[in-house]
């Protein structure tokens, strides 16, 4: 499910989308969803960049045209993916988050392109949770789960064991 949000201090809207949708819907829709998704994330990045005073892309339509029909000659598609990953990296840096790894993005693109799309969407979701707020009348996205496992109940915790006594050193012969 997508959660609509608004970038703080602007009228620009962004969406926190499911990474599964970004990875699997292009397969189900024979690539149509991917073109729509690529346009929207590039528009969101452009708007976010303008709000922050940075260039994170100018024309999302050109980004889509580089995929289709430009992808028929391969080079434009490679360039738009390269620039798109760079935009996501720039947006991550603006929020103070760890940027996506360019080498990992390249490996994902070469071997499992849908995994790249999910990887980018996860990074964008982190950015939007940090920099945007839910639209009026919409519910906010759930916060990511706590990375730490839950603590054990007190009755199941083992007391800290004292350190074992030191072994005496054998005499030197």
For residues 48 and 12, is the Cβ–Cβ distance under 8 A? yes
This prediction's pTM:
0.79
- 147 within domain boundaries: no
- 80 within domain boundaries: yes
Residue whose entry in the numeric block shows the structure tokens 């397969």: 27
- 158 within domain boundaries: no
pLDDT digits (tens, 9 = 90+) for 12-68: 999 999 999 999 999 999 999 999 999 999 999 999 999 999 999 999 999 999 999
Angle, helices 75-95 vs 102-111, to 10°: value is 140
Q: Residue 114: which domain range?
A: 3-142
- 104 within domain boundaries: yes
- 129 within domain boundaries: yes
β partners of residue 5: 14, 134
Number of domains present in the structure of the chain: 1
- 19 within domain boundaries: yes
For residues 58 and 46, is the Cβ–Cβ distance under 8 A? yes
DSSP 119-162: HHHHHHHHHHHHHEEEPTTSPPPPPPPPSSPPPPPGGGPPPPPP
Q: Residue 59 carries which DSSP code?
A: -
pLDDT digits (tens, 9 = 90+) for 138-169: 778 877 776 677 777 777 777 666 666 666 67
- 150 within domain boundaries: no
- Residue 168 in tokens: 């005496």
């Amino acid at each position: 499910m997508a959660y609509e949000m608004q970038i703080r201090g602007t009228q620009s809207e962004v969406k926190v989308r499911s990474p599964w949708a970004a990875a699997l819907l292009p397969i189900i829709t024979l690539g149509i969803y991917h073109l729509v998704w690529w346009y929207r994330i590039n528009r969101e990045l452009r708007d976010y960049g303008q709000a922050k005073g940075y260039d994170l892309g100018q024309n999302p339509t050109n980004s889509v045209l580089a995929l289709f029909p430009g992808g028929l000659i391969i080079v434009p598609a490679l360039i738009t993916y390269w620039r798109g990953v760079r935009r996501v990296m720039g947006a991550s840096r603006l929020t103070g988050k760890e940027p996506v790894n360019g080498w990992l993005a390249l490996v994902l693109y070469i071997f499992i392109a849908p995994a790249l799309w999910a990887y980018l969407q996860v990074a964008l979701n982190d950015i939007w949770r940090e920099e945007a707020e839910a639209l009026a009348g919409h519910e906010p996205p759930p916060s990511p789960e706590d990375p730490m496992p839950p603590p054990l109940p007190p009755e199941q915790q083992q007391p800290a064991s004292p350190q074992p006594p030191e072994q005496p050193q054998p005499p030197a012969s």
